[in-house]
Homo-oligomer: A and B are copies of this chain.
Amino acid sequence: MDQSTAPETSATDDLPFDVFSKQCPSRGLLEHATGRWGALTLGALYEESLRFNALRRRVDGVSEKMLSQTLHALERDGLVHREAQLTNPPRVDYELTPLGREVAERLLGLIHFVEGRMPEVLEARARYDARETRA
Contacts and interface: CB of A to CB of B under 8 A. Distances in A.
Interface in A29-51: 29-31, 33-36, 39-40, 43-44, 46-47
The quantity of this chain's copies bound in the complex is 2
Contacts of A26: 111, 114-115, 118
Contacts of A16: 118
* Secondary structure call for the A interface: helix
Interface residues of A, number: 62
Interface string A19-35: 11110011001110111
Nearest to A34: B34
Contacts of A58: 11, 20
A124 to B, nearest CB: 3
